[in-house]
């Protein structure tokens, strides 16, 4: 029983770390686009920035566009 809990905890931690790395890669890919196109809403939260990036989709870098697409946006 203890072994099962340990393995389950390890799997959950590993998956959380992977998700965090994915978010960091997305932030890096879109950092320049956010500063260029969405500077006015940077302090309004992630939803405002995401909305802004979607509004400027045609002008985004390929890397940022790819991140948005891969995340269903």
Domain ranges of the chain: 21-73
Largest CA distance in the chain: 54
H-helix or E-strand containing 27?
A: helix 2-37
pLDDT of residue 17: 43
pLDDT tens-place string over residues 11-21: 444 344 444 54
Confidence band (pLDDT; 50, 70, 90) for 25?
A: low
Q: Is the pLDDT of residue 53 over 70?
A: yes
């Amino acid at each position: 029983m203890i072994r099962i809990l340990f393995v389950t905890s390890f799997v959950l931690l590993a998956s959380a770390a992977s998700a965090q790395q994915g978010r960091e890669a997305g932030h890096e890919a879109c950092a320049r686009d956010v500063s260029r196109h969405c500077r006015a809403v940077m302090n309004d939260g992630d939803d405002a920035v995401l909305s802004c990036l979607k509004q400027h989709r045609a002008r985004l870098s390929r890397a940022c566009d790819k991140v948005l697409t891969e995340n269903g946006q």
